[in-house]
Amino acid sequence: MAELRATTIAESKNGLGTQDLILIAVLLAAGAVLKLTVGSLLSSMGMKPNFIIAMYCLAIILTKPKVGQAAIIGLLAGILCQLPMLNATPLLNLVSELLGATVCGLLINVGMNIGGKLDINPLVNTFVSTVVSGGSFAAMAIYINVVSQGGDVAVAAATYAAIVLGTATFNAILVQVLVPPMRKVLKK
């Protein structure tokens, strides 16, 4: 028992522990599966959720890694997006998910309580992180697919803005709803 306690204390000083890494892996995998299944279904109805962003934000919020570790989580999410059917424009997610996760890692310790009871950090953090990720993806995609081919930048920017803000709103609500029960489960 003393060895287990010593390992837990050592892991907390050095960053993420084994349980944290397992949780991160499970949430990233769940995000990929949800994006392929539910995300595809919702996309056919005009909605464009990105469960991978929501799940890495959830993982970062629950495990509270150092900023560099959060960036690595984003890089892993970007690599995961390179799988077939998860990304229409290859390699852009490597940058956009890295940026989104880094912002999430920077914001996890910012206190955002309403009335001392309701913690809205998951809501605000996920919204901002999704906007950073989606916005950087959109900017690169517009440059590659629209500017370089002489398309209408204003139309592309407006379209991407609507998608990014819709996705950010969906992700923020989803993560805000999932954090309290997940924290209770993880405490047990």
> What pLDDT does residue 93 have?
87
Q: How far apart are CA 53 and CA 13, in angstroms?
A: 27
Give the predicted TM-score (pTM) of the model: 0.84
> What pLDDT does residue 153 have?
87
Give domain limits for the chain: 2-187
Report the half-sphere exposure of 90 (CA within 13 A, side-chain side).
3
> What pLDDT does residue 91 have?
84
Mean pLDDT per segment of 10 residues, for the chain of length 188 residues? 42 72 91 83 72 94 94 92 68 92 94 83 95 94 82 89 92 94 86
Asked if 80 contacts 45 with a C-beta cutoff of 8 angstroms, the reply is no
What CATH topology corresponds to 2-187? Answer: Arp2/3 complex 21 kDa subunit ARPC3 (1.10.1760)
User: Helix (H, G, I), strand (E, B), or coil: what is residue 113?
Assistant: strand
β-pairing, 118-119 vs 113-114, is: antiparallel
Report the half-sphere exposure of 116 (CA within 13 A, side-chain side).
0
> What pLDDT does residue 7 have?
43
